[in-house]
Amino acid sequence: MTAPMSARFVKQVGTPFDERIVAVAGRGRSLLLQLRSGERLVDALARAFEEAGFLGGVVDVGGLELDHFSYVMPALSKDGANAAFYSDVYQPEGVIVLESGRMSFGRRDEAPFFHCHALWPEPDGQCHGGHILPDHVRLAFDQSVHAYGFDGGVFEANPDRETNFKLFGPVPAPSRHQDDAQMQVCHLLRLRPNQDLHGALEAYCAAHGFGPTRILGGVGSTIAGRFEDGTILEPFATEVYIREGHVSCLEDGSYQAHIDVGYIDYTGQIARGPIMRGDSPVLMTFELMLCPGLA
pLDDT digits (tens, 9 = 90+) for 33-58: 999 999 999 999 999 999 999 999 99
pLDDT for 1: 52
Residue 106 has pLDDT above 60, yes or no: yes
Higher pLDDT, 107 or 182: 107
pLDDT for 123: 87
The DSSP secondary-structure symbol of 192 reads P
Average pLDDT over residues 138-158: 98
Q: Confidence band (pLDDT; 50, 70, 90) for 7? A: low
Q: Confidence band (pLDDT; 50, 70, 90) for 179? A: confident
pLDDT for 6: 52
CA distance 178 to 172: 15
Averaged pLDDT of the chain: 96
pLDDT for 279: 96
DSSP run (H or E) holding 42: helix 41-51
Average pLDDT over residues 85-109: 97
pLDDT for 88: 97
Residue 295 has pLDDT above 60, yes or no: no
The pTM (predicted TM-score) of the whole model is 0.96
Which CATH fold topology does 21-292 show?
A: 60s Ribosomal Protein L30; Chain: A; (3.30.1330)
Residue 3 has pLDDT above 80, yes or no: no
Alpha helices by DSSP H, listed for 90-225, are 197-207
Average pLDDT over residues 71-79: 97
pLDDT for 178: 82
Residue 118 has pLDDT above 60, yes or no: yes
Among residues 163, 175, 143, 156, the alpha carbon closest in space to that of 54 is found at 175
CA distance 226 to 196: 12
Residue 5 has pLDDT above 80, yes or no: no
Average pLDDT over residues 154-168: 98
Residue ranges of domains in the chain: 21-292
Residue 4 has pLDDT above 60, yes or no: no
CA distance 273 to 271: 7
Q: Confidence band (pLDDT; 50, 70, 90) for 181? A: confident
Among residues 190, 187, 224, the alpha carbon closest in space to that of 208 is found at 187
